[in-house]
Amino acid sequence: MKIFHTVSGLRDILNQDRRQGARIGFVPTMGNLHDGHLALIRQARESNDIVVCSIFVNALQFGLNEDWDRYPRTYETDCEKLREVGCDYLFYPDDVEMYPNGLDTQSRVICPTMTDVLCGASRPGHFEGVTTVVSKLFNIVQPDEAIFGIKDYQQLAVIRRMAEDLCMPVQISPAAIHREPDGLAMSSRNSYISDEERPRVTVLKQCLEWIAEQIQAGNKDFSQLEAKAKQRITEAGFGVDYVTISNSKTLDPAANDDLEITILGAMFTEAARLIDNLSVDLS
């Protein structure tokens, strides 16, 4: 695996690959890689000649009271894992390389839909930071395909919309949620969960599954289903950010005649914010 710290260095080698007809796959990450990230690399490997991974903890998508400073940074271990799964190039820039004119004057990319609800409601400015850095990374790598995990369902939807609106010539491909043996969605923030909390955090997934079963059985009282799930999470000892039954494409609250529905949830442990989702196809 070759490692690049500069935009020019990565572009030079990718231009050589393109001239030889190579198809480029891309997986953007913030590092602290787990098996879920590695599954994205493997998926990119299946349909591309060259696989690029980026590691950049993007301050622009973190709020004032969020965990940018303590977000796990495990560069050496990440490199070992990427080599093992066959990543070709790692792009590992510093803040100055990504934002040479500083964050305060950085041009921003704003998606006006789907960004002020769900995670966007509790993390103001988060998706502006995501769309800005992802658009920069797309311009740097110029991939044919980019892989994003379904666990971050809202992020995937927003990036798809951004790429469509801005006519970006990149295929946005989803990857299934990778889970721990007990069903907890893999996340870099799972390391924040205490030993005492760990057996109980699966309540989020269990609530989403219960809602899905109710909907498939014909229960369309979405408000009541959301309320009961929130109560169950609270009774398990966690704080509720949201439990929402949404239209899978627009992320608007689901209508009774919607055929593609996604149930999204977020909750707080003492030190972590966990998210999960489950989609239901009623067609």
Q: Is residue 3 within 8 Å of residue 87, measured between CB atoms?
A: no
d(CA 196, CA 204): 16
The answer to whether residue 5 is catalytic is: no
Catalytic residue among 34, 37, 126, 178: 37
Phi and psi, residue 112, nearest 5°: -80, -5
Of the candidates 24, 21, 20, 29, which has an alpha carbon nearest to the alpha carbon of residue 58? 29
Q: Is residue 241 within 8 Å of residue 268, measured between CB atoms?
A: yes
Residue with tokens 């627009």: 250
Residues in a beta bridge with 266: 242, 275
d(CA 193, CA 207): 19
Catalytic residues: 37
